[in-house]
Chain A
Amino acid sequence: MASMNMIQALNSAMDIMLRDDPSVVLMGEDIGYFGGVFRATEGLQRKYGEHRVLDTPIAEGGIVAAAIGMSLNGLRPVAEIQFADYIYPGFDQIVSELARIRFRTAGEFFAPVTIRTPCGGGIRGGQTHSQSPEGIFTHVSGIKVVMPSNPYDAKGLLITCIEDDDPVVFFEPKRLYNGPFDGDPAKPAVPWSAHPKGQVDEGHYRVPLGKADIVRAGADVTIITYGTMVFVAAAAAAAMQVDAEIIDLRSLVPLDVDTVCSSVRKTGRCIVAHEATRFSGFGAELVSMIQEECFWDLEAPIQRVAGWDTPYPHAFEWEYFPGQARVARALKAALESA
């Protein structure tokens, strides 16, 4: 085991996959010589060569399309989109092409492409460097959607995604790159080295898709969340001294329905929390699914915690961000009803 932050864990995953599988190639803007604007691919071009770790033009549509083409010719591309906010020029290639190649060819062609992209706010990035668009992609049939919340999961999940024969959009909550974050920007930053999930196996290992992690077992209420909000939700519940069961989904598609529903059946109360905007967000899917499966076990309406339905505002980051106060309000409502 070694102490790693999330960037180092992701780098380790790609390092191992480049080493073990000659069909794996990395591609993206500034990822080669420079090592990526967040340093996730640092040193990998030097180690594996310019033919394995490719700098690309600034053309996200081209990056996704070329990755598809390369995958159709036997490679296993891992494409970086520098910010999730920049993924939209690649949207048609992801939605209309990548997601459906297996389906439309009756399984004869498939495109094992992994798209890595940093998401989320809290870094003073304004409306074009802070978005959480995972719900846009969970709505597309044929794409797996993953978002880790810590270094250990990030590495194991990324290895699983690269080895997966289906396409994946892998969201990296960039506020968590250097340490867990409980939603309070005034507190000093905590490094991953101080957290158990910052201890990462240096070798090859997988964390399965479709398997949620019960971060904390509890009896009073279930909090279903992922990414940045895992630590915010845990801190809010702890501050209220609520015995919450906290579930980190890790993969949104496929979704671990069993773990979620078992927990809700046990606690009878539930809130769902994500940083993304609320309206038609992934939380709406979770709430629907839970009421279909667990309606008669529920003691109270399910509450949603989310970003407001506005673009991410530069000056009002912390008024926008669904911090502990918003989680606390939802917990209170879920616990008080009925």
Chain B
Amino acid sequence: MAEPYKHSRLHLPRAPARPGEAPDFSYVELSPAGAVARPDVNARARDIGSLSLELVRVLDDDGVAVGPWNPHLDPAELQVGLRHMLLTRLYDERMQRNQRAGKISFYIRSLGEEAVSVAQCMALRPGDMLFPSYRNQGLHITRGMPLVDMMCQLLSNTRDMCKGRQLPVMYHSKPGNIFSISGNLATQFPQAAGWAMAAAIKGEDHVAATWTGEGSSAEADFHHALLFASVYQAPVILNVVNNQWAISTFQGYAGGEQRSFAARGPGYGIAGVRVDGNDFLAVYAVTQWAAERARTGGGPTLIELVTYRAGPHSTSDDPARYRAKDDHLHWPLGDPIARLKQHLIGLGEWSEERQQALAAELDALVASSWKEATSFGTMSEGPKLDADLMFEDVFKEMPEHLLRQRALMRAERSG
């Protein structure tokens, strides 16, 4: 037996399973599907603190929708959700392979987390502004950005929306109301609060929604977001995607060991909701609740989406070095696509055959889109962006010193 401590001690959070060990998800606190009460959207944050500790779930183990959070969506809407999630996954798979083949420099998949972006985006309105993180490609897919446009960004080619300036996956969409992704972490979180404050100042009923990982919630900007959202009761939905891992660092190192991430909301006087992030219906319902709350003057909501990063952090990462092999297969909340599919089949609104046909259709769409995208240039072939572009948009008007440098660069390149 260990001696009782005779002095203070430094607690060092431990990952539940490292390479060579059996996956262990006993630490994940679950509520039965349908068990969590759904309060009125205008309930006071102080009266609904338990929502931040329980886990809102709609789909039970048999794929049946149960309980007060069931959003009662039409089967047609559910099929749209399934389609967007599957398209996101197939797009990710092919782009990952393209990176491995050296056709793009970098990629980040959202494998296992597709319900987060797709269900949340579907629960919001087109005029609502989104401030994503780098694993939210499902937002762009759900808002209808053509795959070709997304691929051209990955290729930094002549049709790249970023004009070659950003790493792959750092998309934006001005018409789609999706803000630019930063390579720096959590910076978008308080910006979303500011956007929402402006909506309130202008008397509009748009809301802002933003996403960050649980790891990035350690950044001070996360806390700035909660503070400003709380002080001004801004119409913003603050989403922490708790996929358990920040590269190699387990969620315990972001503070998730002692208390849920959602529980930081009540600490700031903000409603906090913890939801099964792999349950399309639950994610939709919670987002819809938060949006209505924001739109009707109820202020901000902090949502923790409990999910699992089934793949590596990025194409630069190798999780075999730091976590148990195939652990995502043991994740207690399953896979979001498989679960929605099971639900639809149970309703008599879907089948394995339709699933296979949809996958084949979407795979073909991804393949033909890639072919079209590469016609606008790749890293090694085809038309190239003009390097002059790097001097544009540093400022609205190009100042004298950049004009001079652009001329110098041209001279340098012409030898």
Contact = CB atoms under 8 A, between A and B. Distances in A.
Contact of B246 (A51, A58, A315): A58
Contacts of A51: 10, 12
A59 B219 contact: yes
Interface residues of B, number: 51
Contacts of A60: 219
A310 B183 contact: no
Given A58-B219, A326-B412, A308 B253 contact: no
A30 B248 contact: yes
Interface of A is mostly: loop
Contacts of B254: 57-58
Counting chain A residues whose Cβ lies within 8 A of the other chain, the interface size class is 35 or more
Interface string A87-119: 011000000000000000000000000000000
Contacts of A58: 185, 215-216, 218-219, 246, 249, 254
A316 B402 CA distance: 16
Contacts of B401: 279, 309
Interface of B is mostly: loop
Given A33-B15, A86-B184, A319-B413, A308 B390 contact: yes
A277 to B, nearest CB: 10
A126 B166 contact: yes
Nearest to B392: A310
Contact of A30 (B170, B249, B394): B249
Interface in B202-239: 215-216, 218-221
Interface in A297-326: 308-311, 313-316, 319-320, 325-326
Contact of A316 (B182, B219, B247, B387): B387
A85 interface: yes
Which among B106, B405, B408 has the greatest number of chain A C-beta atoms within 10 A?
B405
Contact of B164 (A89, A308, A314): A314
Which among A85, A125, A319, A329 has the greatest number of chain B C-beta atoms within 10 A?
A319
Contact of A33 (B164, B322, B409, B413): B322
Contacts of B405: 278, 308-309
Nearest to B170: A126
Contacts of A311: 165, 394
A64 to B, nearest CB: 11
A310 B291 CA distance: 39
Given A124-B105, A310-B402, A316-B390, A57 B167 contact: no
A34 B322 contact: yes
B166 A124 contact: no
A61 interface: yes
A283 to B, nearest CB: 14
Interface in B1-30: 10, 12, 15, 18
17 contacts: A30-B247, A30-B249, A33-B18, A37-B247, A55-B248, A57-B218, A57-B253, A61-B219, A89-B219, A124-B105, A128-B183, A128-B184, A309-B401, A311-B394, A314-B164, A316-B389, A329-B411
B164 A315 contact: yes
A248 interface: no
Interface of B: 10, 12, 15, 18, 105-106, 156, 160, 162-168, 170, 182-185, 215-216, 218-221, 246-249, 253-255, 316, 321-322, 385, 387, 389-391, 394, 401-402, 405, 408-409, 411-413, 415
Nearest to A318: B387
A21 interface: no
A50 interface: yes
Contact of B394 (A29, A129, A309): A309
Contacts of A315: 156, 160, 163-165, 385
A56 interface: yes
Contacts of B408: 326, 329
Nearest to A92: B220
Contacts of A329: 408, 411-412
B402 A309 contact: yes
Given A33-B248, A34-B247, A126 B218 contact: no
A314 B183 CA distance: 12
Which among A50, A62, A279, A315 has the greatest number of chain B C-beta atoms within 10 A?
A315
Nearest to A306: B405
Contacts of B219: 58-61, 89
A162 to B, nearest CB: 21
Nearest to B162: A314
A314 B322 CA distance: 29
A316 B164 contact: yes
Contacts of A88: 184
A60 B186 CA distance: 12
A125 B167 contact: yes
Contacts of A57: 215, 218, 249, 253-255
B385 to A, nearest CB: 6
B168 to A, nearest CB: 8
A186 B341 CA distance: 49
A54 to B, nearest CB: 8
Contacts of B322: 33-34
Given A29-B247, A50-B12, A85 B253 contact: no
Contacts of B183: 85, 126-129
A59 B156 CA distance: 30
- The 10 nearest A-B residue pairs measured at CB: A128-B183, A315-B164, A57-B218, A34-B248, A126-B167, A315-B156, A319-B387, A59-B218, A124-B105, A313-B390
